[in-house]
Structures are given as C-alpha cells and as structure tokens.
Structure 1
Amino acid sequence: MPRRSALPPPPPPVEIRTWPDRGALLADRALILGELVKLHLGPGRLGLLWLWGALGALGWSLVGTALITFEESYDIFSAVFGVVFLAMGACCLVPAVVLVFVGLRRDREIRRLLAQWGALDRDPARDAALRLPGTSLVWLLSSFLLCASGLYACVAVPAGAVRGDDTYGLVALVMGLGFIGWLIGLSGITKALLHRRWVLRVLIGTPVPGAPISSGAGSHR
C-alpha cells in the first residue's frame, strides 16, 4: 500500500492482471477498499471538514467585523483597524476555500476508485465492514443540523432585521456565517448519501434510480 497521505492506484487493466487466484484478488480488494472508505468517510474526515468550516467562519467573522467598522467609523483610526481586520479575515478565508475545494476534488477521486475496485468482484463477508451505517448516520445527522442552522441564519436574520437597529455589516456577518455552515453541512450530507449509494450499487447490487448497474464480478487472472 502507498503511504497514507496518497491514494491507492486504480485496479490494473484486465489484460495485465496477475492475481494468482480469486482469493488474492479479494484480499487486495478488501484492503484497498477499506483504506478508501476511511479516507472518504472516516471520523477524522468529518472533524477535518468542520475544521475547514471553522477556519472559514473565523475569516468571515473578521471580514464582517471590518464591514461593521467601516460602516460605523468616524475617524482614520477606525478605518485602519477595519483594513487590518479585512486583511486578517482574507488570510483565514482564502485558505479555507482552497482547502474545501481541494478536499472536494480528492473526494471525487476517492469515489471513482471506490467504484472501480468495488466492481472487480463481490465479497459479502468482507464488504459488510465497509458499509459503516453508524458512521454514515453521524455524518448525515450532524451535517443536517449544521445545514439547517446555517439556512435559518441566512433567511431569518435578514427577514427580522430592523432598520436603524441592525446594521448592514451585522446582517452580512450573520448571513455569511450561516452560508458557510449551510455549505459545510451540505457537503457532509452529500458525502453520507453518496457513500450509501455506493454501498447499495456496488456492495449490495441494489438498483439505484438513474444510475447504470454494475455487472458484478470482473474478469481476473
């Protein structure tokens, strides 16, 4: 296996596969699928996703503070502080956006490898450990709560804002934090549902609406 930070390679083409027997193929398949599932849906991945969201929320909080400062500033010192907060916020927000984007691309590659290795054959005894129903449920419920809270902040706060009491900067601050929460929560929900879809389609073989069905065991040598 490659080092943990790297992804496993895709299965070799049919014409150059050199597994001595089906047992060897299934052993390699189980080992690589187990690693891929951990990389895609392991508990550490959820914490990492929320960490990226927290970094983005910190960045937007600083940006929102800068907007409030600009809106309420009456002297040059307040404007300078606003610029400083804006720069600090950008230093947190930009890396968070980049990390989330890189993580989404990596997850897409992991799902491609999961489909390829899973389609090699069927192994119900080993595949049962890859379903992770409890982990998927944790991802789904926690992400749903975060997504719902973020959506509420995006909708309820501007709807309840009072002219003269709530500044535009404050409303933008809360809406931005809500949007970040909604986006991170939506990413978690999507990952949980895609994992469940992979389990049904590849491991169990249940037809999934709108998706072609894998033919099952692949050829091996």
Structure 2
Amino acid sequence: MPPRSVLPPPPPPPEIRAWPDRDALLADRSYLLGVLVKAHIGPGRLGLLWLWGAVGALGWSLIGTALIAFEEAYDPFSAIFGVVMLALGAAALIPAAILIGVGVHRDVAVRRLLTQWGELDRDPARDAGLRLPGVSLVWLLTSFVLAALGLFACVVVPAGAVRGEDTYGLMALIMGLGLLAWTVGLIGVFKAFWHRRWIVRTVTGAAAPGPLPAWDGGAHR
C-alpha cells in the first residue's frame, strides 16, 4: 500500500493491462476509487483546508495589526511593533497560501485520476458506496457559509465604513480576512459540487467507458 500522501497511478494502457479477469479489475478499481475519494473529499481534507485557512487568517490578522500600527504610529516603539507584527504575519500567511495552492494543485491531480479510473468500467453497486452524501453535504454547507461571510466582509463592511472612524488599516484587515474566507469557501463549494457531478456520471454511466478489456470482448456492456 502506498503512503497516504502518494496518489495511485492512472489506469495502465489497454495493451499492457494484466488483470486476470474483470472481477480483478473491478476490485482494484473500487479500492483505488475509495482511496481517491477520501483524498479529495474526506473529512481530513476539509480539516486540513480549514487549518491552513486559519493559519492564513492569523497571518493576515498580524499584518493588519501592523498596518494599523503604522497608520497610528506616534513614536518609534509603535513603528517597531508594526515591523515585528508584519514579519510574524508574513511568516504565517505565506506558507499557508503556498500550502493552500499545493492542495488545489493536488486536487486537480486527484480529480483527473477519479475520472480516469471511473471511466475504466462500470460497477454501480460498489460505486454507490462512494457517494458520501453526509460528508459532501458538510463540505457544501460549511464552505458556503464561509464564502458568504467572506463576501460580506469584503463588500458590505467596507461599504458601511464611516470616514474618520474606520481607518484604512482596519478596512484592509477586514477585507483581507474576508477575501481569505471567500477563497477557502469557494474551494470547498467547488469540490462538493464536483464530487456530486462525478458520482452521478460514474454511477449512471453518463461518462464514456474506457477501452474494452481483452478477456471478454465487450460482453459485459
């Protein structure tokens, strides 16, 4: 069994497939699809996405604090405090943003593999176990709420800012947090909708099946 961080390979080309029969192919297909579905939409992936989002939010909070300190600096100590907060914020925000980007890139690879293995053959009975309706719904609802809150912070809060009371640094802090929440939420919503679309196509056979295995001449279709 490969390490959890290593994705399975794509299906081998028809000319080098070595499954002894269709049952063996379907067993491998079912196992690998289960691994890939968990890698794409498992609860751990949601927790990891939100973890890096929270780290990014912490980083931007520190950067926003630095901007407010620079804006209201009346002495060298305030400026020094702002520089320290800026450095700490960048140290948290930049790795979080990179890791979120790495996760998005990994999700693209997982979706490609899910499509390839799903189109290899049809097995509606086993594929029905890949629906994960509860997990998918949690992804959708929590991500939608997060994206909505982020959009509110980006649009509504700045629109209601009062000149002379709400500083530019404070608005930058709120809008940055909102943008981060909106981005993380959109990633989650997209993944939930994509999983739903993929499972419908896979179980119903809407996706075109792959090349026929050599052992049965297409009799199973």
Category of TM-score, reference length = shorter chain: over 0.9
Residues 61-113 of structure 1: CA deviation (Å, up to 9, x unaligned): 00000000000001111101100000000000000110011000000000000
User: Within 5 A, what are the aligned runs for 1:46-195?
Assistant: 46-195=46-195
> How far apart, in 2, do the equivalents of 1:83 and 1:4 lie?
40
Residues 28-64 of structure 1: CA deviation (Å, up to 9, x unaligned): 0000000000000000100100001001100000000
> How far apart, in 2, do the equivalents of 1:217 and 1:134 lie?
30
> How far apart, in 2, do the equivalents of 1:138 and 1:159 lie?
31
> How far apart, in 2, do the equivalents of 1:132 and 1:218 lie?
28
Partners of 2:127 and 2:202 within 8 A in 1: no
The 3-state SS of whatever aligns with 2:159 is helix
> How far apart, in 2, do the equivalents of 1:35 and 1:150 lie?
32
CA RMSD of aligned residues (A): 1.0
The 3-state SS of whatever aligns with 1:20 is coil
Q: CA deviation at 1:122?
A: 0.6
> How far apart, in 2, do the equivalents of 1:188 and 1:2 lie?
26
Query: Which ranges of structure 2 fall in alignment gaps of 5 or more residues?
Result: 215-221
Q: CA deviation at 1:217?
A: 5.1
Percent identity over paired residues: 68
Partners of 1:122 and 1:216 within 8 A in 2: yes
Moved more, 30-39 or 133-142: 133-142
2:217 match: none
Partners of 1:57 and 1:177 within 8 A in 2: yes
> How far apart, in 2, do the equivalents of 1:168 and 1:198 lie?
44
1:18 match: 18
- Counterpart code for 1:97: A
User: Within 5 A, what are the aligned runs for 1:190-201?
Assistant: 190-201=190-201
Is 1:39 the counterpart of 2:32 in the alignment? Answer: no
**Number of equivalences:** 214
2:211 match: 218
TM-score with structure 2 setting the length: 0.94
> How far apart, in 1, do the equivalents of 2:208 and 2:80 lie?
64
Q: CA deviation at 1:157?
A: 1.1
> How far apart, in 2, do the equivalents of 1:82 and 1:180 lie?
22
Partners of 1:146 and 1:182 within 8 A in 2: yes
Partners of 1:122 and 1:217 within 8 A in 2: no
> How far apart, in 2, do the equivalents of 1:32 and 1:203 lie?
16
Query: Which ranges of structure 1 fall in alignment gaps of 5 or more residues?
Result: 207-213
> How far apart, in 2, do the equivalents of 1:198 and 1:90 lie?
38
TM-score with structure 1 setting the length: 0.94
> How far apart, in 1, do the equivalents of 2:135 and 2:179 lie?
25
> How far apart, in 1, do the equivalents of 2:185 and 2:137 lie?
13
